[in-house]
Structure 1
Amino acid sequence: MIRVPLRPLARVIAARNQGIDPDIAEAERRAAALRARRAEERRRAEGRLWLLSVLFLMCFLAVGGRMTMLAATDPEEPVAEFAGDPMRAHRADIVDRNGELLATNIVTSALYVETRQMVDMPGVARGLAEIFPDLDEKTLLTRFEGRGNFHWVRSQISPEQQQAVHDLGQPGVYFGPRETRIYPQGQRLGHILGGARFEREGARAAEVAGVAGIEFTYDDRLGDPAQVNTPLRLSIDLRVQNAMRDVLEHQMDRFDAVGAAGILMRADNGEIVSMVSLPDFDPNDRPAPRGPEDELLFSRASQGVYELGSTFKAFTTALALERGEVTPHTIIDTRGPLAWGRFRIRDFRNYGPELSVTDVMVKSSNIGTARMALETGIGPQQDFLRDLGFFDPSPVELPEARSARPLLPPRWSELSTMTVSYGHGLAATPLHLATAYATIANGGLRVEPTLMADAPLPTEEDRVLSAATSATMNGILRAVVADGTASFADIEGYEVGGKTGTADKPIAGGYAEDRVIATFAAIFPASDPEYVLVVTLDEPVDRSGPVVRRTAGWTAAPTAGQTIRRIAPILGLRPVPEAPAASDEPLTLAGSRP
């Protein structure tokens, strides 16, 4: 039985008193209650719809705003492959002192395969071997069928090769994005830049690391994400580098030399404006160490340790002047040969029984220089050469140069003092020589060689010579070029000064009689030196005349002269007429030693 709820008696009585049928009144009440409930439900539903609409609008605006920000931002590749071990996929550019590009990156691809995705392994191996002739089809197939799913094929491919691989249409063959280091100037800066390679590789990125030269020394700086958009600026002037290399290459051929080196340095702060070593290499295709072309990696400018011959006479003379033992006009006994035990020191030719200090330099007298060194003594000579940097490797920013330690006499006797005075018995790099000549020429303040632009100037704490001695030496070096052994380096209007040096090449058991290292160290303009130039030729031979000549005056000096003629206008130096020489001062006679 269905029980029907009773209607309230009060409502029934009230309806009857009003003359209304209680059933009709109850039906109207229920209908009104139903309408009210439906209205409340509609209101609640509309509220929920409005809330959802607002939430949807907010999400749409957030997504739209983010898309707008991304569209307005330059696209960037991720710099890390793994969150815990960042992979530096980008590397800063390297530019010369004028902003010319020396090293940069280009986007390329690596090639790898995932064998689980392949449907035709033999076809993939065959196709890749056709595209890359250095790959063997059977070797590739053996690798693909071996253990593992992931296999590298090439760490770097060209766009043409990438298109050819793409045209194979084979599943399981993939390209990994890369930034590859390139050197637009090729081999012209190989020994300075060094080179780079892929250090770590992932499927989506690879880290480039320097292996030598500036790339190695400044590896952290170049790979620093905070500085990746700031180029590393060198002191090198690309225009001068190209001009010097062209001259050296031509002169190597002319004199049948096996090698050459050239360094141009600012005298005031040691900045290296140009440094060339021939033969050289292209860092885009760096030779492998201990490979068939390994010798190309050797820099004669910063690594080659040689006896530099009579260029050292400038240091002997400068020290004697600084100590007040001589003046430019002091007379030196040059009678020879100079005997020391069983050893004999001779001059290249007979210059007479006596010469002034200036003429000892002009005519390049070994005997006169040795007598000045004996007067100076062993200790002061060692201290002076140490101050000039000849006792330690060059501090230039090249890791290879740090191992080029000068070769000093094992027992520094008085005989060593005499031979070292004219460049025999002590070996150093041309970079050591350029640095020492800059110190002599710039007023006597020691400089350190650097490949970085905007190097600081030395201070009084770096003083090695007095300014007066420096000025006197510059005048003597000018006389060597104007009147002495380096006349072929005399370029009109540029007031070139310098000193030649010809050293016999050491061989097993002694020295070669027909092979030399010819060097010329120049300063210009001599009245106020701005630059130092050192040129070295390895085994040059001049056959232009009836007599075969190998000395630096006939080989290195004219090479330096041609170099200065080419680079001086680039450096902004204008030829200036030279003032006539002043009259000679009274001579001061000095006693000679036997």
Structure 2
Amino acid sequence: MMRVPLRPLARVIAARSQGLDPDLAEAERRAAVLRNRRSEERRRAEWRLWLLCAVFVMGFSAVGGKMALIAATDPEEPVREIAGDPIRAHRADIVDRNGVLLATNMVTNAIYVETRQMVDKAGVAQGLAAIFPDLSAETLLEKFERPGNFHWIRSEISPEQQQAVFDLGQPGVYFGPRETRVYPQGQRAGHILGGSRYEREGARAAELEGVAGIEYQYDERLGDPAQVNTPLQLSIDMRVQNAVRDVLDAQMENFTAIGAAAIVMDAQNGEVVAMVSLPDFDPNDRPAPRGPQGDLLFSRASQGVYELGSTFKAFAAANAMERGVAGPGTIIDTRGPLTWGRFRIRDFHNYGPELTLTEVMVKSSNIGSARIALETGTLAQQDFLRELGFFDASPVELPEARSARPLLPPRWSELSTMTISYGHGLAATPLHLASAYASIVNGGLRVRPTLLAGAPAPTEEDRVVSRETSQALNQMLRAVVSRGTASYADIEGYQVGGKTGTADKPVAGGYADDKVIATFAGMFPASDPRYVVVVSLDEPETFAAGMIRRTAGWTAAPTMGMLVTRIAPILGMRPTPEVIVADQGTTTLARVAQ
């Protein structure tokens, strides 16, 4: 049975003494206790509600305040400062001196798979192989069966390919957005720009990295988030670059040459306005260095180290004039052959027993140049060529050029002094030759080649020859074109000056009898040189005047003439009449090709 709790005896006695019902008194007491308990619970509930309201008010206030702060501040590109996030998804553009686009980015997609999400691996493999003919279904299926969930398929796909993959409707196939590098000018600036590739790739982004040329040299600058919206401006003028390439390509075919190079340089500050090397490549589809087309990556203009022939006679003449050894009218002994031990130095033709220094240049006498060099001295020759940059790699902003150091004789004997004076025994790049010519024809101030726009002009601290020596040399180089070995480079109204150079190609055990490097180095206008041009043809030949001709006078010189005809109007230069000054009593202008 159930026990009923006993009521407190004291309360029962007290109630009866007052004439009250003990049960009613107990009920009233319990009701009071219950009211007190409910009041306390209500108070606690109200306190909790107020606390919850306060929390909601503070939360919404914080969110609203942040939104107001964001709305009131200027928009900025977010920059990740976390060291663990190395992927830089954007890269700055590259433009020429006129703002023409040379390299930019295009939004594209990569394609990858996650095998755990696949339902039909064989179906995915067959579908992808049908879209991408270079992939096989068997190879793809083998890849899908390998350990791991994530596998790359292609780093870049076209919009059409993306749509075709999407239409497969297969789960587990995903697209990774990224930017790819595009070169609108194609192969016309390939050796300058170099190219790029994906270095680090993630599912949502990929980092482009330069592999050669300007892209490699300025990789950090181009990938810097703070400068990604500022294009890198080069000194190249694509109008001139295109004209030079067209002429060089046509002449290379005309003379059946295996290669060619040309450089157009601002004589006042060393800016490279155009630089072409043929054959070339398209950086949009850069060939593998070790592949069958790897030779296309070689730049004959900045990497090719060649003996440059009689173009070096200008340096021998300038050095002699600067040191007071000879002047333009100084008589030089040209009786030959000139012997040194068992070696014999001969001229292309017999020019008689003596010539003036100017005639040595005009007729391109090896004997005369060698005797001038001996008179000037070996140390003076070395110092002069060192000042012009022939002892070091070119400082141009191309990583490939750093390995193209000139080849100097291991023992610089008197014979070396003589042969180097007419361009044999020392090999350098056409870019070395262009910057050296600019330095001696621009008034005598050393310039350094650069591919960046806005290069400063040299100062008096950079002087290598006096202004008087430079002016005298310019007149001599003009005479070489107007009545000497480079007459086919003469273009009326532009006062082209320069020097031809024909060097036999070295082969195992000596030099080839029927293969040459034909070079022309010159400037225009000769009265006040603004641009220096170097043209080089590898193994050219043409049939003219009843025989096969390979010398620069027949090949490189007419190429120079065609170049000036094409690029001078582009550069804003108008033809002007030339005032002919008598030289050594001779005013006759004759066309001679040697």
TM-score, reference length from structure 2: 0.89
- Residue aligning to 1:550: 550
- Residue aligning to 2:571: 571
CA distance in structure 2 between the partners assigned to 1:176 and 1:547 by the alignment: 63
* 1:202-241 correspondence runs (5 A): 202-241=202-241
Residue 108 of structure 1: CA displacement? 0.7
Deviations 1:133-181 (A, max 9, x none): 1111111111111211111111111111111111100111011111111
CA distance in structure 2 between the partners assigned to 1:347 and 1:469 by the alignment: 26
* 1:456-467 correspondence runs (5 A): 456-467=456-467
- Residue aligning to 2:352: 352
Secondary structure of the structure 1 residue equivalent to 2:498: strand
- Residue aligning to 1:451: 451
- Residue aligning to 2:151: 151
1:363 aligns with 2:363: yes
Residue 546 of structure 1: CA displacement? 2.1
* 1:118-133 correspondence runs (5 A): 118-133=118-133
- Residue aligning to 2:99: 99
- Residue aligning to 2:389: 389
Secondary structure of the structure 2 residue equivalent to 1:269: coil
Residue 291 of structure 1: CA displacement? 0.7
Deviations 1:367-420 (A, max 9, x none): 111110110111111111111111111111111111011111121111111111
Deviations 1:280-324 (A, max 9, x none): 000011110111001100000001111100000000000010111
Alignment check: 8 A CA contact 1:79 1:88 kept: no
* 1:283-322 correspondence runs (5 A): 283-322=283-322
Residue 86 of structure 1: CA displacement? 2.2
CA distance in structure 2 between the partners assigned to 1:178 and 1:235 by the alignment: 30
Alignment check: 8 A CA contact 1:518 1:539 kept: yes
Q: Which amino acid in structure 1 is aligned with residue 178 of structure 2?
A: R
Residue 61 of structure 1: CA displacement? 4.0
CA distance in structure 1 between the partners assigned to 2:541 and 2:157 by the alignment: 45
Residue 56 of structure 1: CA displacement? 7.5
CA distance in structure 2 between the partners assigned to 1:520 and 1:497 by the alignment: 10
- Residue aligning to 2:421: 421
CA distance in structure 1 between the partners assigned to 2:328 and 2:585 by the alignment: 9
CA separation of 1:583 and 1:299: change in aligned 2, threshold 3 A? closer
CA separation of 1:43 and 1:169: change in aligned 2, threshold 3 A? closer
Residue 83 of structure 1: CA displacement? 5.1
CA distance in structure 2 between the partners assigned to 1:583 and 1:313 by the alignment: 19
Alignment check: 8 A CA contact 1:329 1:585 kept: no
CA distance in structure 1 between the partners assigned to 2:76 and 2:546 by the alignment: 69
Secondary structure of the structure 2 residue equivalent to 1:176: strand
CA distance in structure 1 between the partners assigned to 2:478 and 2:583 by the alignment: 16
- Residue aligning to 2:499: 499
CA distance in structure 1 between the partners assigned to 2:206 and 2:45 by the alignment: 61
Q: Percent identity?
A: 71
Alignment check: 8 A CA contact 1:197 1:210 kept: yes
CA separation of 1:324 and 1:83: change in aligned 2, threshold 3 A? closer
CA distance in structure 1 between the partners assigned to 2:515 and 2:163 by the alignment: 54
Alignment check: 8 A CA contact 1:333 1:353 kept: yes
Residue 85 of structure 1: CA displacement? 3.5
Unaligned runs of 5+ in 2: 1-5, 12-35, 587-594
CA distance in structure 1 between the partners assigned to 2:119 and 2:513 by the alignment: 71
Residue 459 of structure 1: CA displacement? 1.5
Length, aligned pairs only: 570
CA separation of 1:118 and 1:429: change in aligned 2, threshold 3 A? same
Residue 88 of structure 1: CA displacement? 1.1
CA distance in structure 2 between the partners assigned to 1:187 and 1:79 by the alignment: 36
CA distance in structure 1 between the partners assigned to 2:507 and 2:53 by the alignment: 97
CA distance in structure 1 between the partners assigned to 2:192 and 2:441 by the alignment: 25
CA separation of 1:47 and 1:114: change in aligned 2, threshold 3 A? closer
Residue 74 of structure 1: CA displacement? 8.6
Residue 500 of structure 1: CA displacement? 0.4
Deviations 1:489-537 (A, max 9, x none): 1111111110000111111111111111000001111111111000000
Q: Which amino acid in structure 2 is aligned with residue 237 of structure 1?
A: D
CA distance in structure 2 between the partners assigned to 1:45 and 1:242 by the alignment: 80
Alignment check: 8 A CA contact 1:499 1:521 kept: yes
Moved more, 39-48 or 176-185: 39-48
Secondary structure of the structure 1 residue equivalent to 2:475: helix
Alignment check: 8 A CA contact 1:79 1:90 kept: no
Alignment check: 8 A CA contact 1:309 1:422 kept: yes
- Residue aligning to 1:166: 166
CA separation of 1:60 and 1:546: change in aligned 2, threshold 3 A? same
Q: Which amino acid in structure 2 is aligned with residue 541 of structure 1?
A: E
- Residue aligning to 2:405: 405
CA distance in structure 2 between the partners assigned to 1:584 and 1:335 by the alignment: 20
Q: Which amino acid in structure 1 is aligned with residue 130 of structure 2?
A: E
CA distance in structure 1 between the partners assigned to 2:385 and 2:109 by the alignment: 53
CA separation of 1:250 and 1:116: change in aligned 2, threshold 3 A? same
Q: Which amino acid in structure 1 is aligned with residue 536 of structure 2?
A: T
- Residue aligning to 2:340: 340
Residue 442 of structure 1: CA displacement? 1.1
Q: Which amino acid in structure 2 is aligned with residue 306 of structure 1?
A: Y
Alignment check: 8 A CA contact 1:309 1:424 kept: yes
Secondary structure of the structure 1 residue equivalent to 2:264: strand
Secondary structure of the structure 1 residue equivalent to 2:549: coil
Secondary structure of the structure 1 residue equivalent to 2:165: helix
Alignment check: 8 A CA contact 1:406 1:429 kept: yes
Secondary structure of the structure 1 residue equivalent to 2:361: helix
Deviations 1:173-217 (A, max 9, x none): 011111111100000011000000001111111111000001111
Q: Which amino acid in structure 1 is aligned with residue 127 of structure 2?
A: G
Deviations 1:47-92 (A, max 9, x none): 889868865864674576478689x95988x879x75242111111
Q: Which amino acid in structure 2 is aligned with residue 426 of structure 1?
A: L
CA distance in structure 1 between the partners assigned to 2:467 and 2:228 by the alignment: 43
Alignment check: 8 A CA contact 1:79 1:87 kept: no
CA separation of 1:541 and 1:204: change in aligned 2, threshold 3 A? same
Q: Which amino acid in structure 2 is aligned with residue 213 of structure 1?
A: G
- Residue aligning to 2:19: none
CA separation of 1:515 and 1:49: change in aligned 2, threshold 3 A? closer
- Residue aligning to 1:201: 201
Secondary structure of the structure 2 residue equivalent to 1:492: coil
Secondary structure of the structure 2 residue equivalent to 1:543: strand
Q: Which amino acid in structure 1 is aligned with residue 132 of structure 2?
A: F
CA distance in structure 1 between the partners assigned to 2:489 and 2:176 by the alignment: 55
Secondary structure of the structure 2 residue equivalent to 1:110: strand
CA distance in structure 2 between the partners assigned to 1:120 and 1:75 by the alignment: 42
- Residue aligning to 1:475: 475
CA separation of 1:295 and 1:213: change in aligned 2, threshold 3 A? same
CA RMSD of aligned residues (A): 3.2
CA distance in structure 2 between the partners assigned to 1:41 and 1:190 by the alignment: 80
Secondary structure of the structure 1 residue equivalent to 2:265: strand
Residue 585 of structure 1: CA displacement? 7.9
Q: Which amino acid in structure 2 is aligned with residue 118 of structure 1?
A: M
- Residue aligning to 2:135: 135
Residue 341 of structure 1: CA displacement? 1.6
Q: Which amino acid in structure 2 is aligned with residue 133 of structure 1?
A: P
- Residue aligning to 1:438: 438
Q: Which amino acid in structure 1 is aligned with residue 527 of structure 2?
A: S
Residue 343 of structure 1: CA displacement? 1.3
Alignment check: 8 A CA contact 1:271 1:451 kept: yes
CA distance in structure 2 between the partners assigned to 1:64 and 1:365 by the alignment: 83
CA separation of 1:327 and 1:187: change in aligned 2, threshold 3 A? same
Deviations 1:549-582 (A, max 9, x none): 1111111011011101111111111111112315
Q: Which amino acid in structure 1 is aligned with residue 254 of structure 2?
A: R
Deviations 1:460-497 (A, max 9, x none): 22111111111111111111111111111111111111
Secondary structure of the structure 1 residue equivalent to 2:450: coil
- Residue aligning to 2:378: 378
